[in-house]
């Protein structure tokens, strides 16, 4: 009998020196005896092969996605038009919390998910409220997709209030911090060029690394934001500020403005890591690349630019997003304006303690005592 009939049979010598045979395949093993090719050997081989095949099928079944589960919903969401419309960098950001949620609760049925379950999931991140709120957003998106599939009627994630966050998000660079950075990183350095570019364009780092000579048209920098490019986001077209023009003058015309030392495009994460090092060197621990985007919006607001004007620079799609960036910057100016109007209004001698007679209900009236 040819040995090729039993490809998974492997020989070895036992402690008595006799040759024995064993069925071995991908970690599975069964003894086949010493009489290679005998009827008993064939029987054992057939049983071992059947058992091995059965285990492999069971294992494949164990890895199969359960219909109607969270994992099934995630897989469906990844195939949806909504997901496909999201930019690649945003997808990477979204996938982090989604996949962690999938790993922990992937086998659970969506139809049984209630508000109390969402609250319990978010409570595990109560110490990091920003992360908890981010997870809530991702879960709400998934459950909106479940509603679209008619799996559920109500989105329990949207019934849960987000955690209150005391912080205003990424720190907005102030003028002192900008000046400090430029003291340490002088003109001609990549650090100086990077901060100047983002400060005068409001570009996020994912967009800043793609800007180059090809982005300049008619003395303007033009680009579509990566975050909205799949949704046909508006074209950002910005006149080049003289300070930025000076920094960009003389750069090679065949590579990005923030190219690596080898002339290759720099990754967004690479720019973020470099910014962290540059800021630390300048003693600016709270500053980051995203804070420059907010600083650009702050400067525009302080200069009196309207929300729509700021949107045309930053590429934001809604006024609410711009207001988050500029609220602190405009509040002081609005307060000055309001008090100024109060000071210059007609009849300024009239104050809140000098009320008109129509508000003084007891004016000119004599209160009679009872019993008289």
CATH code where residue 136 lies = 1.10.150.130
Mean per-residue pLDDT, 272-285: 94
Range of the domain at 296: 175-334
pTM for this one?
0.58
Which tokens go with 173?
């660079």
Question: Do residues 151 and 196 share a domain?
Answer: no
Question: Do residues 53 and 118 share a domain?
Answer: no
Residue with the bigger pLDDT between 286 and 63: it is 286
Query: Which of 105, 127, 159 is the endpoint of a domain?
Result: 159
74 has pLDDT over 60:
yes
175 has pLDDT over 80:
yes
Q: 192-202 burial, b if ≥16 CB within 10 A, otherwise e? A: bbbbbbbbbbb
Span 215-237, pLDDT tens digits: 999 999 999 888 766 556 678 99
Question: Do residues 103 and 230 share a domain?
Answer: no
356 has pLDDT over 60:
no
354 has pLDDT over 80:
no
Q: Is 10 in a helix, a strand, or coil?
A: strand
Question: Do residues 204 and 95 share a domain?
Answer: no
User: Which has the closest alpha carbon to 70: 139, 6, 5, 8?
Assistant: 139
Query: Which of 124, 159, 194 is the endpoint of a domain?
Result: 159
Q: How confident is the model at residue 183, as a pLDDT? A: 96
Residue with the bigger pLDDT between 65 and 260: it is 260
Q: How confident is the model at residue 61 (pLDDT cuts 50, 70, 90)?
A: very low
Question: Do residues 180 and 326 share a domain?
Answer: yes
Q: How confident is the model at residue 184, as a pLDDT? A: 96
Answer whether residue 359 is part of any domain.
no
Question: Do residues 134 and 270 share a domain?
Answer: no
Which residue has tokens 């005896």? 33
**Main-chain phi, psi angles of 338, to 5 degrees:** -65, -45
Question: Do residues 141 and 234 share a domain?
Answer: no
Question: Do residues 185 and 240 share a domain?
Answer: yes
- Could you give the maximum distance between any two Cα atoms of the chain, in Å? 134
Compute the chain's Rg from CA coordinates. Answer: 34
Question: Do residues 276 and 241 share a domain?
Answer: yes
User: Which has the closest alpha carbon to 94: 137, 126, 130, 65?
Assistant: 137
């Amino acid at each position: 009998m040819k040995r090729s009939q039993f490809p998974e049979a492997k020989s070895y010598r036992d402690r008595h020196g006799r040759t024995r045979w064993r069925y071995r395949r991908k970690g599975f093993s069964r003894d086949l005896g010493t009489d290679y090719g005998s009827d008993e050997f064939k029987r054992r081989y057939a049983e071992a092969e059947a058992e091995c095949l059965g285990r492999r099928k069971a294992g494949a079944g164990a890895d199969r996605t359960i219909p109607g589960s969270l994992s099934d919903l995630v897989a469906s969401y990844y195939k949806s038009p909504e997901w496909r419309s999201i930019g690649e960098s945003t997808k990477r950001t979204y996938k982090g919390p989604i996949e962690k949620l999938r790993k922990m609760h992937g086998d659970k049925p969506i139809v049984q998910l209630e508000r109390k379950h969402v609250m319990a999931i978010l409570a595990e991140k109560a110490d990091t409220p920003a992360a908890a709120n981010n997870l809530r957003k991702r879960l709400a998106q998934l459950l909106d997709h479940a509603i679209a599939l008619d799996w559920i009627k109500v989105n329990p994630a949207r019934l849960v209030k987000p955690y209150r966050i005391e912080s205003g998000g990424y720190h907005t660079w102030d003028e002192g911090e900008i000046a400090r950075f430029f003291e340490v990183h002088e003109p001609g350095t990549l650090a100086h060029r990077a901060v100047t570019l983002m400060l005068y364009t409001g570009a996020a780092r994912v967009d800043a690394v793609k800007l180059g000579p090809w982005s300049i048209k008619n003395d303007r920098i033009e680009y579509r934001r990566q975050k909205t490019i799949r949704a046909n986001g508006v074209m950002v077209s910005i006149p080049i500020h003289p300070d930025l023009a000076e920094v960009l003058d003389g750069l090679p015309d065949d590579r990005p403005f923030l190219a690596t030392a080898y002339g290759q495009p720099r990754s967004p994460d690479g720019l973020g890591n470099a910014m962290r090092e540059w800021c630390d060197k300048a003693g600016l621990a709270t500053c980051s690349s995203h804070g420059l985007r907010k600083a650009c919006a702050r400067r525009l607001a302080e200069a009196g630019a309207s929300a729509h004007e700021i949107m045309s620079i930053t590429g934001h799609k809604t006024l609410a997003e711009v207001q988050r960036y500029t609220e602190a910057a405009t509040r002081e100016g609005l307060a000055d304006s309001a008090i100024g109007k109060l000071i210059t209004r007609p009849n300024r001698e009239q104050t809140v303690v000098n009320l008109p007679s129509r508000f003084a209900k007891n004016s000119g009236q004599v209160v009679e005592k009872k019993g008289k």
